[in-house]
Amino acid sequence: MPPEHLEHHPDAAYFTDATGEKWRVHDVTFAAGRFTRVVLEAPTATSRIFVSASGMKRSHTFTRGESHGLAVEQLARQLAGAGYLAQTRHIPAKGPR
């Protein structure tokens, strides 16, 4: 089992979990039915989204007073408790022609 670790770049962070799967980490706010990305570790973030290379998306909602840091142990805990986001896309119905 590969060790969990974090790759932190100026514009992105990647967390590798205990199974070896790599996840891109996004901090976001959620309003009006959509997510908006914010700077990593921003105290204004309401959620942390994990996106795998295959496109699977999982979401952790920050609790009041929870650190927004990127410590490996914290990311592992957040990912383990994260819910799954829908993978469907909205396809508008065709109207009359």
Nearest to 26 by CA among 16, 17, 13: 13
Question: For position 89, what pLDDT does the model report?
Answer: 56
pLDDT at res. 71: 96
* pLDDT score recorded for residue 95: 55
13 found inside a domain: yes
Average of per-residue pLDDT values in the chain: 90
Residue 27, burial from CB neighbour count under 10 angstroms (0-12, 13-18, 19+): buried
Residue 17, in any domain of the structure: yes
42 within a domain of the structure (yes/no)? yes
Domains identified in the chain, total number: 1
Contact assessment for residue 36 and residue 29, using Cβ atoms and an 8 Å cutoff: yes
Tens of pLDDT, residues 38-55: 999 999 999 999 999 999
Half-sphere exposure for 77 (CA within 13 Å, toward CB)? 11
Residue 66 placed within a domain: yes
Supply the range of the domain harboring residue 80.
5-84
Q: Which of 7-11, 28-32, 65-69 has the highest mean pLDDT?
A: 65-69
Q: Read off the tokens for 18.
A: 């205990």
